[in-house]
Amino acid sequence: MLSFLSSSLSNTRQSLAQVLNFALVLSTAFMLWKGLSVVTASSSPIVVVLSGSMEPAFQRGDLLFLWNRSLRAEIGEIVVYNVKGKDIPIVHRVVRTFPEVEGRHKTVKAVSESSPTPPNMLLTKGDNNVADDTELYAHGQDFLHREEDIVGSVRGYMPMVGYVTIMLTVTMGSQKRIAKELAELTGSPPAGITVELANEDNLYEWKIFMDGPEGSPFHKGIFQVKLVLPTEYPFKPPTVSFVTKIYHPNVTNDDKGSMCLGMLKADEWKPSSRLAVVLQFARSLLEEPMPDDAVEGRIAEQYREDRKRYEEIAREWTRKYAISS
């Protein structure tokens, strides 16, 4: 009996010791993090690069060390900023500052209190992006404010160290973003579009039903569309394909039914794009195809040169495949 009690007490002490050691590790890490935050004046002194928009300067998974005690950011400097209402930090380069800097001595132009342009405003851009970041900023925001939006400037990095963090962050952020957009689309769907999950256990595959737009050869047809989201969403675009056969220059005329959308190409996709816009654009192509961006050249040529015959075949296919008897 005594040996049993002794063994139980020993196990309890070991369990408590493990809990205390774990708590000590967490508290030490927290104090180090807070210490770095105070020294660097940054709310997040260490961040991980989550996208390839700054390649080749930085790759996905690089660990960045930030400093936020500089009074201003200069053109060419790489900064990390948070957009209002979004949790994902963005690492991009400053390409323009307001007020402008003049002369070799970098004398800052005076800005009066009544000036519509606040001091120390920044415009940023990813080295690997075609356009600047205005579409990534919050609604109605044209520039970043140095004090309000900037988390810090990059002062050092370690390559690929944060790749595990990327996988965890991207997966969790992806699921949160997808769940939010799904709720919005099911609660208030765009006209002529119905959205549901293909499988209740899988957030990444959606089943869409599109009504053929009035005035198009697809009118009165109901088309089933499959939307598949990558685990890296919103940093990588979804794919859209027609399950229901359709005669259209922008949809492959095979069992895959892949739809060609310019906004879904890897080099044109923007993480700020919303799935509601993607689906609305896909439906708008049923009304106004884009023959110059076709995946079926023969159908595109027929659409341009013999519109009447194109519409006859499209209506025939709609009656055959998209209208239930």
Residue with tokens 């769940």: 179
Rounded to whole angstroms, how far apart are CA atoms 257 and 246?
8
The CB density around residue 22, as the number of other CB atoms within 10 Å, is 10
Let me know: does 97 contact 64? Beta carbons within 8 Å: no
Q: Is the separation of the CB atoms in 66 and 40 below 8 Å? A: yes
| Pairing outcome for strands 150-158 and 202-211 | unpaired
Question: Phi, psi (5° rounding) for residue 281?
Answer: -65, -40
53 in active site: yes
Judging by DSSP bridges, how do beta strands 150-158 and 63-67 pair with one another? antiparallel
Do residues 281 and 210 touch, judged by C-beta distance below 8 A?
no
**Known active-site residue 139:** no
Q: Which of 42, 51, 62, 92 is catalytic?
A: 92
Active site (annotated) includes residue 133? yes
User: Which is the catalytic residue, given 42, 51, 62, 133?
Assistant: 133
> Which residues are part of the catalytic machinery?
53, 92, 133
